[in-house]
Amino acid sequence: MASPDTSLPVVDGLPRRLAIGWLSLGLCALGISSLFAVLLVMLRTPYLRDLFHRRELFPATLVLHVDLAVLVWFLSLAGVLWSLLGDARLPRLGWTALGFAVVGALGMVAALLLGVGHPLMSNYIPVLDGPVFLTGLGLLAAGCALMVLRTLVLGPGLTTPAHRGGVLRFGAYCAAIAIAMAMFTLIRDYHGLPDVKMGREYFGRLFWGGGHLFQFANTLLMLVTWLVLVGDIGARVRVRRSVLISLFGLEVAPVFLVVLVPALADVNSDHYRFAFTQLMRWGIWPVAVIFMIFVLYALYRTERGAGPRPAGATLLRFSILLFCVGLVLGALIRTNDVMVPAHYHGTDGAVTLAFMGLTYHLLGRLGFATVPERAIRLQARLYGGGMLTLVAGLAWSGLYGVERKEAGSLQVFTNVQEFAGMLLMAAGAVVALVATWYFLALVLPALFPSLARHRAVPRTGHAPRS
């Protein structure tokens, strides 16, 4: 049985330049978000949290941390994949999309630095309710919409030759469909909500449906990245190309059910929220688990021989483990406690680690200096271990009912188990932060000095791995 080629094509020209632009935006967003995370850890840590008494400091910082680390970082890496798996058509649309996204992200950060906007911890996209932040968020959304439009117009690549990433292109195309449906849902919900557009409850309902569909896109992009990393270490997924294409189609298929939801429940009702919760709960994991089995089997076949384990294999294993833990914890959610962030730190950590691996993979192929395998392996273990510890601490505290989105003097521990769980969370968060800074220290010096020197990239797009 012929295995599909899952190598990511990189050629000179518009796809490469757009990919570098999106990658630069994503790395900057991740770096700034990690700085905000330091303050969040202090505000969650016993003893240190007592130093802070400003009620809005924690939620305002959390807004930017979440939006940069999840929304901007994930969308930027999506832009990288869509750029590389597309072609040179529609250049103005591509650059306009990137420009809007950059200006939008800067506007969101400026809102926090200027101290304008009231923090509202709405689900999926928390906001600083003010014109500066909301304008920035709107520009970021416009940039994403234009890039999605460009991807959809360029086509799914079903006729793309195997050596040009045909399977990968279809998977990324399905992710674009999921984001397009998320935006459709957002617009529909906007028109269905009351005219009084203010407050946490309003934004929570506005982003609820689209936020759930965004998770389908993140999962699809993670699965595409897993296939890229499998190919990078010389492994082969032992299934036919048609099987992988069918699985990507099955993963995105549930998002089309959102057109039926308004017929079943009003956007202002709890039944509407429940419908999207169940759609995500039962629509995402079955196909993802099948991909996990394929990837793990490919790793098993590759590692049976002698020699050191490739760094990409370490990244893949931790990404899969975090995703599995996140899925299990999601099934344990019963109330609005810290079990909720335990769940999404597991799944989002899995996506982030996969995108870190994609960044390492792309540096050499885009014409920049590569990162040594030993350093990649260490960084992956630090990040994976730190995130697992953080998730374990949150889950432990969640079992004892510690409230989410409360910190500082507002957070009260009633027993030693809650206290110990949050200390464990803080320890894991510190390790994960150190791993994130280590990642940035490895990739940023390789990326930006090379940009300044305008290094040429070979036409083959290949570069030796370290």
pLDDT tens string 64-77: 998 999 999 999 99
The closest alpha carbon to 254, from 280, 272, 275, 221, belongs to 280
The closest alpha carbon to 433, from 349, 372, 343, 361, belongs to 349
Tokens 């305002």 appear where?
A: 60
pLDDT of 363 reads 92
* pTM attached to this predicted model: 0.90
Has residue 452 got a pLDDT over 50? no
Mean pLDDT (the chain) is 86
Has residue 240 got a pLDDT over 70? yes
Angle between helices 200-232 and 270-283 (to 10 degrees): 10
Give the distance, in angstroms, between the CA of residue 34 and the centroid of all CA atoms in the same chain.
14
For the residues 239-263, what does the mean pLDDT come to? 93
CA gap 270, 55 in Å, rounded: 29
Contact 52, 43 (CB under 8 A): yes
pLDDT of 465 reads 41
For the residues 139-145, what does the mean pLDDT come to? 98
pLDDT of 462 reads 45
Q: Phi, psi at residue 94, to the nearest 5°?
A: -65, -45
For the residues 127-140, what does the mean pLDDT come to? 96
CA gap 55, 35 in Å, rounded: 20
Has residue 314 got a pLDDT over 90? yes
pLDDT of 305 reads 62
CA–CA distances in Å: residue 328 to residues 7, 9, 338, 348: 31, 35, 14, 14
pLDDT of 225 reads 97
pLDDT of 313 reads 92
Least confident of 200-204, 251-255, 452-456: 452-456
Terminal alpha carbon distance of the chain: 31
pLDDT of 211 reads 95
Has residue 415 got a pLDDT over 80? no
Has residue 49 got a pLDDT over 60? no
